[in-house]
Amino acid sequence: MLDRQKLIEAIYSTDNQERIAGDRERYMVFNGRVRESIRKAIEKEFLLPDTIRELVNRVIPINITQKIVKKLATVYKEEPRREDAHGNAGDTELLEKYEDWLSINHVMMGANQLFKLTKNCLQEIFAHKGTPRVRSLASHTYTPYNDDPIDPVTPTAFIKHISFGSVDKADDQHVVWSDTEHFTMNGRGEIIPNPDNPDNINPYGVMPFVYINESDDSLSPISDDDLLRMQIVICLLLTDLAFASKYQAWSIIALINATTEKMSFNPNSVITLESRNGADPDIKVIKPELDSDALLRLVESLLGMLLTTKNLSVGSVTGEVTAQQAASGVAKVLDSAESTEDKEIQTLYFKRAEKELWTKLAHFMIPVWLDNGMLEPEFAGRFSDEFQLSINFPDQRPAITEKDRLDIEVTKLKNNLTTHFLAVQEINPEYTSDEVTQVLDEIKKEKMDIFEAMMPQVGVSPDGENAQV
């Protein structure tokens, strides 16, 4: 039986609250709340309210975090092929239906993004309103728990945070799952009664979760701080540039040996200066100078280093960020970044996660749902006791444009390094073999039609001589 007091200690420990706060900020930035993080950074750096207000009004909230994470999280860019490992046609057919019902590729794509954002993600399997569902939970919404001294890195329970951080912990709510128990408690460890489950039993016999954790030696992985910090630093530099540009556009007026109570600068203004100390009064105009291009080159360098540490390459766009096209230049660097590593490593985590997900779904969740009438009739199918998932991901290669792929295949054809069939299949990876054959047949037919239309027709002229018509 779970010790609720130890659960509370794990939830409210300083380390766990810091983890939740940090991962929540990453999540918010990834989903577009960049300006708030930049504002907090500005407030820590400056004291004068007027300066802070002007800087915040000129925040450049380019979402580098979102762009990089989506560049890295491409395991499901091409759909994997799933089937029953034993070749059972009925299981494979039901599997295909559940792929569609669960929108599993879309769900796992979201899980991939969360995994690259915080190094971990939790998949929850549940039934809602008669429909089977799977959803991805962000790291700040749950706490993995372990009370096994032999294997301290494998969760023995998961705690979902429904409400967290209330003034009174009695108002917090946490849902707890282990292989045998399921209950909701408040922040004091007091169980909130559930009439539908008075004995707090887990009906499935397994936790309805799949934990995708990048760390092999830690219950919760240590989140990287480079992406979030660099996000803030680069946005601050661009904000500094926008702030400085405002004042660079205005010249500074300096009075020398002169005083005046009121000065107005208009095309027809007449300015009166009073001499000080008997010296001739004068007005000087000081034009501020700011090396905008140098600052943007710094931004580009920082961005390039960040991409490199994240297994991304910037291609050939370096040196193209200038003051004249600052926003588009930074965006181009991000758009041109391509993953050079780690895709294949990611597939190992997700292949293992999918096998666990489909095993729990087929052998633990669906039978309970069906036996208790929790699913609509259309979901009445059951997997066989022998069902086991076999999943194959497409080759993980750096993304290239359609034009580049076409040029590569044309070059291979010219040098007799491939066939027309393989070239069409490579250019259109979503095509089946029959569809590739159909395309080639249609191309051949179109060529013949064009050839026949262009051939000269030979006939006999009225005077009996052969002639072209």
> What pLDDT sits at residue 367?
97
> What pLDDT sits at residue 234?
85
- Helix or strand or coil: residue 462? coil
d(CA 100, CA 95): 9
| Amino acid letter, 369 | W
**Nearest Cα residue to 160 out of 205, 122, 210, 107:** 122
- The ranges assigned to domains in the chain are 4-223+342-392, 226-338, 402-458
> What pLDDT sits at residue 252?
66
d(CA 174, CA 159): 6
d(CA 108, CA 131): 18
> What pLDDT sits at residue 326?
47
Tens-digit pLDDT profile for residues 219-245: 999 988 888 888 888 888 887 777 676
d(CA 130, CA 109): 24
d(CA 47, CA 434): 69
Q: 134 forms bridges with which residues in the sheet?
A: 125
d(CA 413, CA 418): 5
> What pLDDT sits at residue 387?
97
**What residues of the chain score a pLDDT lower than 70?**
243, 245-252, 258, 260-270, 272-273, 278, 285-293, 295, 311, 313-341, 396-401, 455-469
> What pLDDT sits at residue 102?
97
> What pLDDT sits at residue 57?
80
> What pLDDT sits at residue 176?
98
